[in-house]
Structure 1
Amino acid sequence: MRHSLGIKDSMKKNSMLLVLIATMILFNGLISASGRGSLFVPANISNLISQNSYVVILATGMLLCILTGGNIDLSVGSVVALVGALAGTLIVNLGWNIYFSIFICLLTGLAIGAWQGFWIAYVRIPPFITTLAGMLLWRGVALIILNGLTISPFPEEYLRYFNSFLPNTDDKARVFTITFVLGVIICLVVIAYTLFNRQTKKKKGYQIEPLAYTIARIVFLSAAILLVASLLGQHKGIPVVLILLAVIVLGYSYFTSRSVPGRHLYALGGNEKAAKLSGINTNRVLFFAYANMGFLAGVAALVGVARFNSAAPTAGTNYELDAIGACFIGGASAYGGTGTVGGAIIGAIFMGVLNNGMSILGIDANWQKAVKGIVVLAAVVFDVLSKKRVKSN
């Protein structure tokens, strides 16, 4: 029997998205009132994407760890520093082939994740202890490789893969046209997918939201996509890193929501004993989550060194906190088994808007940390209270 989701349920499901929109409007108003311009300046949107690309990548991997039972990885910032140091040594100092160096860096990230995953999944060392040790170990190795020095600059051939724009032309009219047309194409794909997904759920008897709400969501998403496309078109075009982020987000969204191994992550986080009795190899699932986290930390490192055009000893500092915060703000449960890649991305964007907005307003860095801490705590408190309310009912 098919049931329709109520407006209240739909609003609750998208509450974090509404909070993000309200926050962006609030910051834009404050910035405009202070005479510091606008949050929606074309160059600012492009900077927002590049500055927070590492958070999106790391939050995607961190979500998989959290799904397994509220576990986290404290070592990702140090892994980013280590892989970045390795990239600088191979590409800049030794002059190795860029593609082979990238492969070695990604393999190193994967190996580190597999190393930690082995102790966590098969020896059953608590993830907090294992990754805390990794945070110290990999940071130390990074400092040894760099010898306390910063390696720069990276060759242009490397930077264009992570820090350039498409289309690569100085013709501003052409840049805007191509970017906006691409935005229109993305809108058509979103509309087609949304309607097809709704129809599929309807045929299978799943819960669906009211048609009016679906139409409103399509209109909102299309307007947002066209707005971003027009702003990027007025700047330099589409950042190459945005394409990488889209591939990662779409790929992991499909993996977690539509694949059997992805659903095993939720089963493990929901009840490990029940998952094991149902035939799921819980050790393998846990191992995969941390091996994957190491791999994505390697990707984030390659993006980070391209953005800063250097490999520094301080790279990756507090990156793990941004990733964890993004997941919890985006709706991931502190107990595991609940959360989506889309929610984690919304959380990452929210953290980016907070950082960017407060920086433009000239708010002291110490106050910025305090605000972010309160926001993360509020997100976890909301999750805990919501679960208590459900149990009481």
Structure 2
Amino acid sequence: MTTIANLKDLVTQNVRSSGIAFAFIVIVGMFAFMTDGRLLSPGNLSNLVLQYSYILILAIGMLIVIVGGHIDLSVGSVVALTGAIAAVVVVREGFPWWVGALAAIAAGLLIGVWQGFWVAYVGIPAFIVTLAGMLLFRGLTLLVLSNMSLSPFPGEYGQIGRGFLNGLLGGYGYDTFTLVIFGIAVVGYAVAAYRNRRAKLSYNQDVEAIWLFAAKIVLVAAVVMWFAWQLATSRGLPIVLIVLAALIIAYTMITKHSIFGRHVYAIGGNLAAAQLSGVRVKRVNFLIFLNMGFLASIAGIVFSSRSNAAQPGAGEMFELDAIAACFIGGAAVTGGIGTIPGAMIGGLIMAVMSNGMSLLGVDQSVQQVVKGLVLLLAVGFDIWNKKRAGARTS
């Protein structure tokens, strides 16, 4: 009875994260059934990684923006502008591919400096600054490209968003290298989870029973290695997945264990308390938008690489997809709450729904209706959950 009670308490305390993980499993299962398994086929899973990686990259930066109590409506336009700058440098001017990538990143950082200055030091709300940025950077994209698409990129640049690593360790109808990399990742996850559990025990914090902990590790390992097998039997390990994984690991560490991360949560949770505690609010807000500009430039490189072109209309609605991923993944509308893994799950839910409906031949307009309803329900659940928590404490 004690074990059952502890399990119930853990589920209750983590209803938001548990609920979104369960919803993701249900949505995947539903679309897998409706598409006769095509959703989970090796080729389609590879395409899912390539098609939605840039949204997940944007969601990482957007999560930090939202946790800090802001919003950024300009990221889609920044994706278009940074991709356009890379194309001008590489395609039109003939510089090496890496020079174009560096130019795109530099442009993203400058955009972050520009928007961070107006938000942090002038005091204009981020909604207004980034709304202006959405128009400004879209117009600059049209000027840079002379309102025409620019292509093609050289093969090396295209490998960023479309390339695969395979055959490095040989294989027998599958890519061994992919399985090894994912196996190492599973071991790393298990070790990190065990160390985290021991740390909680040392501070007398509640943890799940050991059998439940072990079951969770085994389940995660099984799902991850199944996904690895699907990739290994298709085209191998997507290069962009390595980039995305590195960003997820780095920003999870930053948000959980760095001073900057703690200050972002403090500002979003209670601005007045953060100021009284000595948090340098202006500096943190500036860094939030500098970081968003950097990640938007990475997404711009990935998207232009996958498209093999810089287009004036690139990145349209990307900001809404990134925002939706964060809110569906558990970020609070009022700031101060949200995690990188949660945003990734939210982004994957959007990706699976879009891909599944496309496989079923659902009209694009209907897809937009479904996404809008899912976002509304996710935010509504967040508000309801807060009211329920407030009623319990009052």
- For this structure pair, what is the TM-score category when the shorter chain's length is used for normalisation? over 0.9
CA distance in 1: counterparts of 2:167 and 2:85, whole angstroms? 29
CA distance in 2: counterparts of 1:238 and 1:342, whole angstroms? 21
Report the counterpart of residue 27 of structure 1 in structure 2.
Answer: 31
CA distance in 2: counterparts of 1:228 and 1:246, whole angstroms? 14
Query: 1:1-393, aligned counterparts within 5 Å?
Result: 6-9=9-12, 12=15, 13-32=17-36, 37-69=37-69, 71-167=70-166, 173=172, 175-393=174-392
SS of the counterpart of 1:104? helix
* Unpaired segments ≥5 residues, structure 1: none
Note if contact 1:169-1:175 (Cα within 8 Å) is conserved in structure 2: no
Q: Judging changes above 3 Å, is the alpha-carbon distance between structure 1 residues 170 and 155 closer, same or farther for their aligned structure 2 residues? A: farther
CA distance in 2: counterparts of 1:295 and 1:79, whole angstroms? 10
Which segment is superposed worse, 235-244 or 173-182?
A: 173-182
CA distance in 1: counterparts of 2:151 and 2:90, whole angstroms? 10
Which segment is superposed worse, 205-214 or 330-339?
A: 205-214
Note if contact 2:166-2:175 (Cα within 8 Å) is conserved in structure 1: no
SS of the counterpart of 2:38? coil
Counterpart of 1:68, as a letter, is G
Note if contact 1:191-1:218 (Cα within 8 Å) is conserved in structure 2: yes
Counterpart of 2:374, as a letter, is V
Counterpart of 2:66, as a letter, is I
What is the Cα deviation at residue 168 of structure 1?
5.1
| Identity fraction in percent | 44
Q: Judging changes above 3 Å, is the alpha-carbon distance between structure 1 residues 11 and 286 closer, same or farther for their aligned structure 2 residues? A: closer
What is the Cα deviation at residue 259 of structure 1?
1.1
Deviation sequence 1:202-241 (CA, Å, 0-9, x none): 1122232222221221111101111111000011110000
What is the Cα deviation at residue 191 of structure 1?
1.6
Note if contact 1:161-1:240 (Cα within 8 Å) is conserved in structure 2: yes
CA distance in 1: counterparts of 2:371 and 2:172, whole angstroms? 39
What is the Cα deviation at residue 160 of structure 1?
2.1
Note if contact 2:170-2:177 (Cα within 8 Å) is conserved in structure 1: no
CA distance in 2: counterparts of 1:224 and 1:170, whole angstroms? 23
CA distance in 1: counterparts of 2:339 and 2:347, whole angstroms? 12
Q: Judging changes above 3 Å, is the alpha-carbon distance between structure 1 residues 48 and 104 closer, same or farther for their aligned structure 2 residues? A: same
What is the Cα deviation at residue 384 of structure 1?
0.8
CA distance in 2: counterparts of 1:79 and 1:161, whole angstroms? 18
CA distance in 2: counterparts of 1:170 and 1:184, whole angstroms? 14
Work out the number of aligned pairs and report it. Answer: 386
Counterpart of 1:145, as a letter, is V
CA distance in 2: counterparts of 1:10 and 1:392, whole angstroms? 15
Superposed structure 1 runs of 4+ greater than 6 Å apart: none
Counterpart of 2:321, as a letter, is D
Counterpart of 1:62, as a letter, is M
Q: Judging changes above 3 Å, is the alpha-carbon distance between structure 1 residues 204 and 101 closer, same or farther for their aligned structure 2 residues? A: same
What is the Cα deviation at residue 185 of structure 1?
2.3
CA distance in 2: counterparts of 1:172 and 1:312, whole angstroms? 39
Deviation sequence 1:92-121 (CA, Å, 0-9, x none): 110112222211210110110110111011
What TM-score, normalized to structure 1? 0.95
CA distance in 1: counterparts of 2:150 and 2:374, whole angstroms? 35
CA distance in 1: counterparts of 2:282 and 2:387, whole angstroms? 29
CA distance in 2: counterparts of 1:174 and 1:199, whole angstroms? 41
SS of the counterpart of 2:161? coil
CA distance in 1: counterparts of 2:370 and 2:218, whole angstroms? 32
* Unpaired segments ≥5 residues, structure 2: none
Which segment is superposed worse, 168-177 or 45-54?
A: 168-177
Q: Judging changes above 3 Å, is the alpha-carbon distance between structure 1 residues 175 and 166 closer, same or farther for their aligned structure 2 residues? A: farther
Note if contact 2:66-2:333 (Cα within 8 Å) is conserved in structure 1: yes
What is the Cα deviation at residue 348 of structure 1?
0.6
SS of the counterpart of 1:48? helix
Q: Judging changes above 3 Å, is the alpha-carbon distance between structure 1 residues 135 and 14 closer, same or farther for their aligned structure 2 residues? A: same
CA distance in 1: counterparts of 2:107 and 2:174, whole angstroms? 37
What is the root-mean-square deviation of aligned Cα atoms in Å? 1.7
